[in-house]
Structure 1
Amino acid sequence: MNDKILIGRYIQIDSWVHSLDPRTKLIATFYFILLVFFANNILGYGTLFLVLLFGIKLSRLDLKFFFKGLKPMIWIILFTVVFQILFTSGGQTYFNWGPISITSLGLLGGFYIFMRLFLIIMMSTILTLTTAPLELTDGIEHLLRPLTHLGFPSHEVALMLSIALRYVPTLLDEAQTIMNAQRSRGVEFDEGSMMDRMKAIVPILVPLFVSAFNRAEELATAMESRGYHGAEGRTKYRYLDYDRNDVIVLCVMILITIIIIGIRFYF
């Protein structure tokens, strides 16, 4: 299961994207997501798709590896797309049966929903695959640091997000281990009615929650035993510095913004 879910994983290789400052990758990722929602036509989404492919190329990560990691989430995406298609009215009607109808606007809206989810998931995956958890924590903390003057706990929030990303693959591996143990005891997860399948999940959730709480308690005990008391009085072992590549990324994002705005209002 750890090979199927990419969120929270980090692959250490030598690439141009890996060498970027984590703050640059965070800003570029969230800004790209904003552009995804700003685009409103096929040409705009096609432009963002080309940007995504270029980012994957610079990261030196295999494209097949991305699609393999996207496979477990494809059913959620398809459900959202089908719901959008069947319950959106307007334009030319191709099929109509009660409240369910397939129209030209519904098909177009389904395509837009698919592209948005696809682009967001893939770009977020690039961020986590090319950024170590510690670098991600430092980047988030530096970006949120101005809010500390307003009493916002930037260090604690960054640490919380980093720990959450770090333990996603671990919890998935534990869930797979529990499922294998339940299968060895005769539990079937793929047979029976929907209610039977939901009941079969309970033997997985209970030990998984118990294991997660135990792991959290062990982590808290380990941090306290090492004298961790938050950001107060702490110094930095790693310092983040922008270089020429980070400036190039920010300039490229500005250029992409101009292109998307032009496409939105003139095409």
Structure 2
Amino acid sequence: MTPEGDLPEKGKKRRKLRRLELLRFHPGDSFLHRLDPRTKLLALIFMSIVALVFSSLPVLVLAFLFELVLAFNSGIMNRFLRALTLVSPIFILVIVLDSFFSKVSGGPVWFSAQVGFLHPEVTQAGVIFATAMGFRLLVLVGISFLFLMTTSHDDFTRSLRGMRIPPTLTFSLRYALQSTTSLTDDTRQIMDAQRSRGLELDRGNFIRNRDKLAALFIPVTVSLLKRSKHTADAMQARGFRQSASHSCYKSQTFGKPDVLMAILLAAFILILIVVSRVFPF
């Protein structure tokens, strides 16, 4: 019989795994899914630069709203919002710390104290700056989540090959992305198998379970070594790197959605520049 105290812990583990599944790619036919991965990579770089260069709250809010529009248009709004909850503790921590220890001060002082050598102070300008830093985090994380949710590993690798990146580098990146998913699945299966044998991995903390972790790490390591050997044998059997030229049976091409996305990004940066001039805070 399973103790009733274990049920909440197992439920938390299952919910955590389901939340991590939100970041996986799911095929679709939306505007974002039809974009060339190189275009989505450009959008990822563009939005990251916007988040790091601008510190104005209205600009960062508009950037986040732009990502919400992309998610809604792609039909992944619910998954996108649930995925953002993964970083909600960091979001709250950033706002709280930047509110009490902000490098910007001004306006009414809502709280001030002296705690040893620390001087926490909450001002109107500090709260605005802290909120902007929180939205900066959401913009950076949001565009990365959109890229992961709408881009398959195969399409991304073919796009890199189209950019004349060396085949060894593209294969390594492709294999690393795929191995992350495969290793997660193997670890989950091994944990379920060990639980079925009576190993209680869900009870206690990391220190108390340190002796039990060997029963998890050893099978995972063996599985990883076996998978690496099978991959090496398959590469050798197919003559990887034996020929000078490599080709893909399917190539990625730019289309009308990519041109439209480039126009949207160009127009969006002009809007952000105007907003930053009008609302500099």
The answer to whether the superposition gives a TM-score over 0.5 is: yes
Matched, 1:118 2:138: yes
* C-alpha displacement of 1:249: 0.7
Matched, 1:130 2:168: no
Query: Which sits farther off after the overlay, 246-255 or 70-79?
Result: 70-79
Identify unmatched segments of 5+ residues in structure 2: 1-15
**Alignment deviations for residues 110-150 of structure 1 (CA, whole Å, 9 cap, x no partner):** 4233222222222222222222211111223333x2xxxxx
**8 Å Cα contact 2:35/2:257 also seen in 1:** yes
1:191 matched residue in structure 2: 204
Which residues of 2 match residues 84-233 of structure 1 at below 5 A? Answer: 84-88=98-102, 90-91=104-105, 92=109, 94-96=111-113, 97-98=115-116, 99=118, 101-104=120-123, 107-143=127-163, 145=164, 154-183=166-195, 185-189=198-202, 191-192=204-205, 195-196=207-208, 203-229=215-241, 232-233=244-245
- The one-letter amino acid of 2:136's match is R
Distance in 2 of aligned mates of 1:94 and 1:265: 30
Within the candidate set 240, 254, 257, 2:266 is matched to 254
- Partner SS, residue 33 of structure 2: coil
TM-score of the aligned structures, taking structure 1 as reference length? 0.80
1:149 matched residue in structure 2: none
**8 Å Cα contact 1:6/1:129 also seen in 2:** no
**Alignment deviations for residues 18-75 of structure 1 (CA, whole Å, 9 cap, x no partner):** 12222111111211111121221121012112211111122122x2222333334434
2:10 matched residue in structure 1: none
Distance in 1 of aligned mates of 2:162 and 2:46: 17
**8 Å Cα contact 1:20/1:246 also seen in 2:** yes
**8 Å Cα contact 1:7/1:168 also seen in 2:** no
* C-alpha displacement of 1:230: 7.5
- Partner SS, residue 222 of structure 1: helix
**8 Å Cα contact 2:24/2:148 also seen in 1:** yes
**Alignment deviations for residues 70-89 of structure 1 (CA, whole Å, 9 cap, x no partner):** 33443444445544445445
* C-alpha displacement of 1:256: 0.9
Distance in 2 of aligned mates of 1:138 and 1:113: 35
Distance in 2 of aligned mates of 1:208 and 1:109: 45
TM-score of the aligned structures, taking structure 2 as reference length? 0.76
Identify unmatched segments of 5+ residues in structure 1: 146-152
**8 Å Cα contact 1:9/1:166 also seen in 2:** no
Distance in 2 of aligned mates of 1:230 and 1:24: 32
Q: 1:261 to 1:210 in 2, by over 3 A?
A: farther
**Alignment deviations for residues 141-198 of structure 1 (CA, whole Å, 9 cap, x no partner):** 333x2xxxxxxx6332222222222232322233333444455534354535x74467
* C-alpha displacement of 1:202: 6.0
Report the aligned-residue RMSD. Answer: 3.0
* C-alpha displacement of 1:259: 1.4
1:59 matched residue in structure 2: 74
Query: Which sits farther off after the overlay, 245-254 or 154-163?
Result: 154-163
**8 Å Cα contact 2:100/2:120 also seen in 1:** yes
Within the candidate set 66, 71, 83, 1:69 is matched to 83
**8 Å Cα contact 1:6/1:69 also seen in 2:** no
2:8 matched residue in structure 1: none
- Partner SS, residue 18 of structure 2: coil
1:47 matched residue in structure 2: 62
- Partner SS, residue 26 of structure 2: coil
Q: 1:208 to 1:28 in 2, by over 3 A?
A: same
- Partner SS, residue 94 of structure 1: strand
Within the candidate set 14, 19, 25, 2:40 is matched to 25
Report which of the two structures shows the higher radius of gyration computed on alpha carbons: 2
**Alignment deviations for residues 221-260 of structure 1 (CA, whole Å, 9 cap, x no partner):** 2222122218832123222222222111111111111111
